[in-house]
A and B are shown apart, each in its own frame.
Chain A
Amino acid sequence: MERFKQKHLLGIEELSRDEIDSILDTAIIMKSVLERRIKKVPTLRGITVANLFFEPSTRTLNSFLIAERRLSADTINVSKSFSSVLKGETLLDTARNLEAMRVDMVVIRHSVPCSPHYLAERISASVINAGDGAHEHPTQALLDMLTLREKFGNIEGLKVSIIGDILHSRVARSLTIGLLKKGADVILCGPPTFLPEWFEDYGVKITYNLKDAIVDRDVIYVLRIQRERQDTAFLPSLREYIRYYSVNRDVLNRYARKDVIIMHPGPVNRGVELAPDVADGPWSLILHQVTNGIAVRMAILYLLSGIGSSGGVE
């Protein structure tokens, strides 16, 4: 495998097509580790990873933690409520302090867009973006691409629709960029308040009509709707959203291909953006996504650590 040259994982934007492939190839090897009885390798022994989570997260944080432990890294967690942030310490000071403690890698989730890029310019540790505001969530996009590659063998030419609150979604942005780099066809769908026309500049089709995003698509990727959006006038009501954009059995039966695949980054608002029977149905790859999340994050940690040999992985 060609040596991975990036020092940080800031966004899908910064990755080439080949780099995406090399991450996914590595993730498949990592996944084999997860299938073993002893699910741990010594690859990152002596490497310290700090998880800086300034936004509430269970899934992504736990996924990173498991990935780090499977690779034998030492980990520390800093969250907003237990850190000096509450005492007025800035992100930069927090990170510099961790660096002074010789932390090798920093995983950061922050509500401010581009805060990982900001950190990467200012500290010497590797920075992994675990979600920065509405900007990017690269590990999510990579785990989604891994899931698609496993299912379809190839991402090129796949017809994927992403449905929901595109505007506020870092997942939508990262996945769109990644899918386009891999040659997929992407439709973005949602009510106009969630889908400004600037998204056309990515080179995708946008539609306000759910049917157009369902007919003849290989993959329906449903985003989480945050309930507070009705308070800021983005949505009249959840009732109205459900009526026109919820992906349910009826909509699928009427418009979707029989072999359509449903994905969701989680956590699902059952009965809002996704009907429960669809989330749990045979179309759904949601739990595969979760498993692949660990494999992809192991791959990222391994590749960014710069450890040349496979350290017992293969």
Chain B
Amino acid sequence: MKILIKNVRIFDPASGIDEEGDVFIKNGIVSKKKEETRNIIEGKGLYLFPAFIDIHTHIREPGGEDVENFESASKAAVAGGYSTIFMMPNTEPPIDNDGMVRFVVKRARDVGLVKIYPVGAATIGRRGERLTDMRAMIQCGCIGFSDDGSPVKNPRILRRILEYLKGTGIKFIEHPEDPELSSDGSMNEGSLSNKLGVPGIPWVSEASVVIRDILIAEYLSSPIHFAHISTEASLDLIQFGRKRGVKITFEVTPHHLLLDEDNVKITDSNFKMNPPLRSKRDRKALIKALKKGFVNAIATDHAPHPLYKKELEFSLAPFGVIGLETAFSTLYTEFVRKGVIGLNELIEYMSVKPAGIFDLKTGMVRDGAPADFVLIDLKKKWKITEDRFHSLSRNSPFLGWDVYGRVVYTIVEGKVVYKEGD
């Protein structure tokens, strides 16, 4: 299997390359030595980036196959330029044993479009009581552990999880939230939620768990990864922890970077997610952290829900928005084109850095490197509309946005898995 990509703008922050040229791929890896092939992609006008890696995706299979299954999630991922996604374990039943891990690995391989790594539940049933068989799950392909959707409420159990993972090289991913403080909230707590009479989720609900976890991780000399950090206080606490030598990594989502509570339309639950859209001040702090290189990854928290549920009244609708197919274009349009961050930084946050957290190899334009690439037409403008999505769900807060940057090809292990218009 050979592909020759011709006249493409090669843009690879990991190798420091930004030049027009050809890329030759053979048997899934980049090869310096070009060979004859009729399999040619004309790359004129396109950028070639290492394909994106999403370390936080919700696929609803098993339990919600009609909402997002392995086929639809894979199609959405490659349409968004991703070669690799992490699947969070809060399915029904959850991924809390090695049999379930095997199931995910097999289903992902059967579909064969995108690399899907299962994140296992850290506790059985995600109930925060008993540890899962983590060693067996790692052996079957688990990339990390998390009770995402819920925090590990009991600090003693969290301690045991971090301890048990020592020496495995596998990270625990915390969903930082105190459910007692979040209570029945459905948007950020503040002046706006108070005015609307909507129960709020206070920032301290996130930050109080962040600091608890940092201290436990420090005590055990264990690394820890935080999912979807959304508040200024959490960022300050992470800085504090890093100063004390704790190995902390964390991700932020496109929606927390691009939207805040003032964007919430209270009659439209596509603006309801957990953590909620925070204050302007929090959003500014996230952007500042992004500019400083303080953030480790941008992850979508892609959370599909069916229309009949998202169509409910705000307080009754489920939390979550989809993100795989809009992440690059929205961030490129709002941040790169407006000079907030550079193109190389965006690519690093969406590809190189998340790979680094979990010791994965990304696509690189270097002899012998894996051929995971995305080809994007940065000049192409398009409108985010419901009919564009390959996901089975439509719950995006970016509907109606005009954005730049259209994925034209996605190549995973040397195979074209997405071509625009096909």
Whether A135 and B267, one on each chain, are in contact in the complex, defined by CB atoms closer than 8 angstroms, is no
Query: Interface digits, A97-132 against B, CB 8 Å rule (1 contact, 0 not)?
Result: 000000000000010111101100100000000001
Q: Is B197 an interface residue (CB 8 A)?
A: yes
| Least distance between A168 CB and chain B CB atoms (Å) | 8
Count chain A residues whose beta carbon lies closer than 8 angstroms to a beta carbon of B.
24
- Residue A136 at the B interface, CB < 8 A? yes
User: How near does chain B come to A294, taking the closest CB pair, in angstroms?
Assistant: 25
Contact call A198/B190, Cβ cutoff below 8 A: yes
Q: Is the CB of A113 within 8 A of B190?
A: no
Pick from A121, A133, A134, A136: contact of B267, CB below 8 A.
A121
Stretch from B152-160, B220-228, B293-301, B311-319 at the A interface: B311-319
Give the chain B neighbours of A112 by CB distance below 8 A.
313-316
Instruction: Return the contact of A136 from the options B190, B197, B308, B312 (Cβ within 8 A).
Output: B197
Chain A nearest CB from B341 CB (Å) reads 33
A135 and B198 within 8 A (CB): yes
Closest to A118 in B: B267
Q: How far is the CB of B265 from chain A (nearest CB, A)?
A: 10
- Given contacts A91-B313, A114-B314, whether A132 and B197 have CB atoms under 8 Å apart is yes
Looking at the complex, which one of A92, A113, A173 makes contact with B315 (CB distance below 8 Å)?
A113
What CA separation (Å) do A133 and B187 show in the bound complex?
15
Contact B194 A113 (CB under 8 A): no
Q: A90-B312, A92-B311, A133-B315 are in contact. Are A114 and B267 (CB under 8 A)?
A: yes
**Does A170 interact with chain B (Cβ within 8 Å)?**
yes
Per the CB 8 Å criterion, the residue count for chain B at the interface is 16
Contacts of B266 in A (CB 8 A): 113-114, 117-118
In the complex, which residues of chain A have a beta carbon less than 8 angstroms from the beta carbon of B315?
112-113, 133
Please name the residue on chain A nearest to B192 by beta carbon: A198
Interface set, chain B 189-209, CB cutoff 8 A to A: 190-191, 194-198
- A196 interface residue per 8 A CB criterion: yes
On whether A118 and B314 interact (CB within 8 A), knowing A113-B266, A198-B191, A201-B191, the answer reads yes
Quick check: is A199 within 8 A (CB to CB) of the other chain?
A: yes
Contact in complex: B197, A113 (CB < 8 Å) = yes
Residues on B with C-beta less than 8 A from A90 are: 308, 311-312
C-alpha gap A271/B300 in the complex (Å) = 54
Give the CA-CA distance A121 to B269 in the complex, in Å: 13
Known contacts: A91-B313, A115-B313. The answer to whether A170 contacts B190 by CB under 8 A is no
User: In the complex, what distance in Å separates the CA atom of A301 from the CA atom of B127?
Assistant: 51
Closest chain A CB from B399 CB (angstroms): 15
Q: Is the CB of B198 within 8 A of A117?
A: no
Q: Which of A208-233 contact B (CB under 8 A)?
A: none
For the complex, give the distance between the alpha carbons of A117 and B195 in Å: 14
Q: A112 vs B315: C-alpha distance in the bound complex, in angstroms?
A: 6
Write the nearest CB–CB distance from B323 to chain A, whole angstroms.
Answer: 24
Task: Select one of B267, B308, B316 contacting A117, CB under 8 A.
Answer: B267
Partner of A113, one of B191, B196, B311, B312: B196
Output the least CB separation between A301 and chain B (Å): 24
> CB within 8 Å of B: which of A233-273?
none
Residues 117-158 (chain A) with a chain B CB within 8 angstroms: 117-118, 121, 132-136
Residues in B neighbouring A115, C-beta threshold 8 A: 313
What chain B residues lie within 8 Å of A134 (beta carbons)? 197-198
Contacts of A91 in B (CB 8 A): 312-313
Give me 14 A-to-B residue pairs in the complex whose CB atoms sit less than 8 angstroms apart, sorted by A's number: A90-B308, A112-B314, A113-B197, A115-B313, A117-B266, A132-B197, A133-B198, A133-B315, A135-B196, A135-B198, A196-B194, A198-B191, A201-B191, A202-B195
B interface, CB within 8 angstroms of A: 190-191, 194-198, 266-267, 308, 311-316
Given A113-B314, A113-B315, A170-B197, 20 more pairs with CB closer than 8 A: A90-B312, A91-B313, A112-B314, A112-B315, A113-B197, A113-B198, A113-B266, A114-B198, A114-B313, A114-B314, A118-B266, A118-B314, A132-B197, A133-B198, A134-B198, A135-B196, A135-B197, A167-B194, A198-B191, A202-B195
